[in-house]
Structure formats: C-alpha cells, structure tokens
Amino acid sequence: MAEERYVLIAMDESHHSDDALEYYVKNIHRKGDHLVILYVPEYHTVIQSPMVMTDLSLVPDLMRDETERIKAVVERLGKKLLHFGLGGHVKSVGGKPGEVIVKVSKEVNAALIVLGSRGMGTLRRTLMGSVSDYVMHHSHIPVLVCKHPDVHEHHGHKH
C-alpha cells in the first residue's frame, strides 16, 4: 500500500491552474495522494465597483453575489477532483494568495505545493510581485510551478 501524502494544489479561475492540475495528474500523482485544492478568492465586484463609493447600501448585495460566485468556483474545483478520480477536498481561504498558500501547506502538512504560472512579463512581475515567487521563497517544502507550453512564445521567447 502506498504511503499517504498530502499535496496542495493552488487553483484559481484561470487555465494556468487547470494546466497545473493536469500536469500533476499525468506526471506526479501516485496512489495514496490526498489532494487539497486551495482556492484563494479575489473579491472582484465589491472592491472594484464604483457604485460602492456612492452607495454603501449596495455592499450586502455585492457580497452575496461574490459569495455565490466563490461557491460556484469551489463546486467546479470539486468536480475536477471527481473527474480525475482523485482523493481529496477543496478548501477556500481568503487573504493574500502567496501567504495563504504557504500557511495552508503547513496546516495540512503538505509534502508538495503545485501551482500554475500566469506567465507575467518581467516588468509586471517586478512591479506587482508574483504568487509563485512568494511561495517559492517562503515555502518549507518543494514547490512545482507549472508553465503552460505557450507562455514563453507570448513573451517573444522560443522553447
């Protein structure tokens, strides 16, 4: 019987995290792995809505809409576990993505963190920082950053 290990896969709503999950399934998964799919939601509507600045009474409705959107994402991620026949669960935790990923990896005693790369250009990554950079520098365990094959081509680099 294979030894159980916990693998944290950080996912968002992008194809980059879908690619990372597929890479894990095809190349790394072993029997006995317990996946923790971690979703760190971003509150788009409430924070970015200009209406909030003029009418604070809209906040409860916007928060409800965001909660429903987040619930739908979590359900979609749960279906991915079922689709691939993987053991595990989906966890949604609010906060700064890099910090949350490192914190949750410790809480679940993960052996590995897997995440996708959005393939930001050098300038944008320098100005904004990158979740994968943060996780790689602060994690106590191995981190696998999966890049989609065409990421380099978008930035003028060839494989």
The Cα 107–Cα 42 span in angstroms is: 21
The whole-number pLDDT of residue 158 equals 46
Say if residue 2 is exposed, middle or buried (CB neighbours under 10 Å; 0-12, 13-18, 19+): exposed
**Is residue 20's pLDDT more than 80?**
yes
In this prediction, residues 130-144 reach a mean pLDDT of 93
The Cα 58–Cα 149 span in angstroms is: 42
Write the pLDDT tens digit of every residue in 87-131.
999 999 998 999 999 999 999 999 999 998 875 555 554 444 688
Domain residue ranges in the chain:
5-154
Torsion of CA 62, 65, 70, 73, to 10 degrees: -140
Write the pLDDT tens digit of every residue in 83-98.
999 999 999 999 899 9
User: Which fold, 5-154?
Assistant: Rossmann fold (3.40.50)
Do residues 115 and 143 lie in contact, with contact meaning Cβ atoms separated by under 8 Å? yes
For the sheet with 88-92, list strands across it.
88-92, 33-39, 5-11, 112-116, 143-146
Q: What percent of the chain has pLDDT over 70?
A: 75
**Is residue 157's pLDDT more than 50?**
no
Query: Could you give the maximum distance between any two Cα atoms of the chain, in Å?
Result: 60
**Is residue 22's pLDDT more than 90?**
yes
pLDDT, mean over the chain: 82
Which of 66-80, 94-108, 137-151 shows the lowest mean pLDDT across its residues? 137-151
Write the pLDDT tens digit of every residue in 49-65.
555 556 667 777 778 88
Q: Indicate the pTM of the whole model.
A: 0.80
The whole-number pLDDT of residue 159 equals 42
